[in-house]
């Protein structure tokens, strides 16, 4: 069915899992579940859970087998968006075409909804259902890797550096370091986790390397699209990076070189995967990421 | 050496563990580690880790055996204090006689320090060193119990209800429900975790019941001390609950009945433990909690 079809199908699948995990009936007005649901079901692309699913296929498991880790990474990602959008942080009013959590529920509830999603992510990784499918020692290792990727040496470090760099002219090496932590670490973890769960170290290494290149390619293309893209398609304002004088790849190296760098990461990502059929979806994902809309 | 001596000794021990885990050298100016350390080393009593240690002794293990869970619960507790103190939440400027995190580091860093501590707590539970001492399936169960206690059905639910009840006259049953979630759930988890780690279900049941009574006794005594206590000894302003017209036990049932209720919980806590030597510290802890300063 091709990558767009697979992405659409798995997006609906993940949406359904979230609906089942946090049903509308649990989200009464004024509850933290209401705010959790609002952000979880706010038109997310589900890239991170899709990487877990594709990584699962790469190591020969079914999509259903990695349901809980897929939900865990989406919960982690959503918590980070809610907290990043807060007035004290990036102070964003809109996200994916909808008002941000604190605009709808107030700051206190937005902070708590983020906290609850972060906690729920680790709860999902420790879900007894997962132990029926994978060795417990591997589950614990996967959970540890996820905690490292999202903690003070990963996602949170990236956000700290991002806030510290505001209004400063970053060099290319610093920009890459921010992205490696802020978005890259979790993307790499999404890909390593299925390999860790089945205990395949060679696959873990390959998927980790693939994830590293995917993460950087993703960010470069995002920067390019922010510069040239259509605001409606992006679901957010474009040209904002330039207005804010934010360091971006096109800004630091020129549009042509930024495109070239994205293509280099695509080639290296393909190389990391090897040529087998089990990598078909992942190959499609990096191609789709780099080729979108330019 | 008696309970005060044991509390002082274990407080120093936990302080040393935190120092080793987040050394000063890792906490450069502007880093999230700096803010994490500030709140972790801000004169905490270390009640929650002490409950883990005492629970460990109850099930026949050494204090060192439960080091990582003890750190995990202190990290969780500290994250909840940092986020609760934020301007959008309780807006507190002081905590344990020191300026609160957001007053020192700003709101953004305080939010991130809380997030990092919450993440680090689960990282500690998945620490490979713990797997050398306990079965991995029990560690994962303990981690899951901790996530439940701190998540949307535990600590976070308590904070949501607490915020929602501001300025409202709570009934006694609602007040108990808030406390059961906001402070009780984590206290109960602290006590159950050592029993879960050794796989002793009878001890888990007894410790859980003990924790339930300890948590309620602790809150009732806290309310009493807020009403009559010495601000210097408490390390925070007293009489504030009355000023804010906050629902408290003395307010709802009178001072005499509140004291009686605390004594009842003490008796039930003793009963839950049984009469053996292994419960000596825990018996001392509930006595110390109920008898402090009145």
Q: Domains of chain B: which residue ranges?
A: 2-206
pLDDT, residue B242, reads: 61
Record the tokens describing residue B184, joined without a space. 């009780």
Given this model, what pLDDT does residue B170 score?
81
Q: Which position has the token pair 């639910």?
A: B157
Average pLDDT along chain A: 92
Residue B96 is predicted with a pLDDT of 87
- Cβ of B144 and A163 within 8 Å? no
Residue A143: per-residue pLDDT: 98
Flag if A123 and B83 touch (Cβ within 8 Å): no
Chain A residues within an 8 Å CB radius of B123: 144, 147-148, 151
Of B112, B131, B136, the CB nearest to A159: B112
Chain A contact present for B166, CB below 8 A = no
**Distance between CA atoms of B79 and B95, rounded to whole angstroms?**
13
Q: What's the CATH architecture for B2-206?
A: Orthogonal Bundle (1.10)
Measured between alpha carbons, how far is A156 from A162 in angstroms, rounded to an integer?
10
pLDDT value at A243 more than 90: no
Residue A39 predicted with pLDDT over 60: yes
Mean pLDDT of A233-249: 66
Quote the tokens at residue A71.
Answer: 């939900």
> What topology is assigned to A2-291 in CATH?
Farnesyl Diphosphate Synthase (1.10.600)
Three-class secondary structure of residue B248 per DSSP:
coil
Calculate mean pLDDT across residues A66-89. 98
According to the model, what pLDDT value does residue A232 have? 53
Does the beta carbon of A120 lie under 8 angstroms from any beta carbon of chain B? yes
pLDDT at residue number A210: 98
B163 at A interface, C-beta within 8 A: yes
pTM: 0.95
Distance from CA of A129 to the nearest CA of B (A): 12
Lowest model confidence (mean pLDDT) among A192-201, A260-269, B143-152, B240-249: B240-249
| Bridging pattern class, strands A98-99 and A94-95 | antiparallel
Look-up of token digits 């080793």: B20
Q: How far is B144 from chain A, CA to nearest CA, in Å?
A: 5
**Res A242: pLDDT:** 61
Q: DSSP string of A121-175?
A: HHHHHT-HHHHTTS-HHHHHHHHHHHHHHHSTTTHHHHHHHHHHTTTS---HHHH
pLDDT score, position B239:
64
From chain A, the residues in CB contact with B38 under 8 A are: none
| 8 Å CB contact between B78 and B39 | yes
Residues 11-40 of B with CB under 8 A from A: 30-33, 36
Q: Among B160, B168, B199, pick the best mutation site for testing chain A contact (most A Cβ within 10 A).
A: B160
**pLDDT value of residue A189:** 98
Handedness of CA B173, B175, B180, B181 (dihedral sign): positive
Which of the four pLDDT bands, split at 50, 70 and 90, describes residue A235? low
Which of the pair, A170 or B109, is modelled with greater confidence?
A: B109
Please give the structure tokens belonging to residue A117: 């999603």
What's the CA gap between B121 and B151, in Å, rounded?
13
For residue A200, pLDDT over 90 is answered with yes
For residue A105 the two structure tokens come to 């529920």
CB neighbour burial string for B259-270, b if at least 16 within 10 angstroms, e if fewer: bebbeebbebbb
In this prediction, residue A293 carries a pLDDT of 57
Nearest to B131 among A36, A140, A148 (CB): A140
Phi and psi angles of residue A98, each rounded to the nearest 5 degrees, phi first:
-125, 155
Tell me if chain B has a CB within 8 Å of the CB of A89: yes
| Number of alpha carbons in the 13 Å side-chain half-sphere of residue B9 | 10
Distance between CA A233 and CA A243 in Å, rounded? Answer: 19
A43's CB contacts (< 8 A; 6+ apart) are: A96, A97, A98, A235
Nearest by CB to B147, from A31, A79, A126: name it: A126
Q: What is the pLDDT of residue B116?
A: 98
The list of chain B residues with pLDDT below 70 reads 1, 230-245, 293-294
- For A80-108, what is the mean pLDDT? 96
**In chain A, whose CA is at the least distance from the CA of B142?**
A126
Looking at residue B241, what is its pLDDT? Answer: 65
């Amino acid at each position: 069915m091709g990558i767009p079809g697979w992405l659409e199908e798995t997006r609906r699948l993940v949406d359904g899992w979230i609906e089942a995990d946090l049903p509308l009936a649990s989200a009464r007005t004024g509850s933290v579940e209401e705010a959790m649901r609002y952000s979880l079901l706010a038109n997310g692309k589900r890239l991170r859970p899709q990487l877990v699913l594709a990584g699962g296929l790469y190591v020969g498991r079914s999509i259903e087998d990695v349901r809980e880790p897929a939900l865990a990474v989406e919960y982690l990602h959503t918590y980070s968006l809610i907290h990043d959008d807060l007035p004290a942080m990036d102070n964003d009013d809109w996200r994916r075409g909808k008002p941000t959590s604190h605009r709808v529920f107030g700051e206190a509830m937005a902070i708590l909804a983020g906290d609850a999603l972060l906690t729920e992510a680790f709860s999902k990784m420790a879900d007894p259902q997962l132990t029926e499918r994978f060795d417990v020692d591997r589950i614990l290792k996967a959970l540890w890797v996820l905690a490292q990727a999202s903690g003070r040496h990963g996602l949170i470090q990236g956000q700290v550096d991002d806030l510290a760099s505001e209004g400063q002219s970053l060099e290319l090496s610093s920009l890459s370091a921010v992205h490696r932590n802020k978005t890259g670490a979790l993307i790499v973890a999404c890909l390593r986790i299925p390999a860790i769960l089945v205990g395949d170290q060679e696959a873990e290494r390959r998927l980790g390397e693939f994830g590293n290149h995917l993460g950087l390619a993703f960010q470069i293309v995002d920067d390019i699209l922010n510069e040239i893209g259509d605001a409606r398609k992006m679901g957010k304002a474009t040209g904002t990076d330039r207005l804010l004088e934010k360091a971006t790849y096109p800004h630091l190296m020129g549009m042509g070189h930024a495109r070239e760098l994205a293509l280099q990461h695509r080639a290296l990502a393909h190389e990391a995967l090897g040529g087998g059929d089990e990598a078909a979806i992942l190959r499609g994902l990096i191609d789709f990421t780099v080729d979108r809309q330019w």
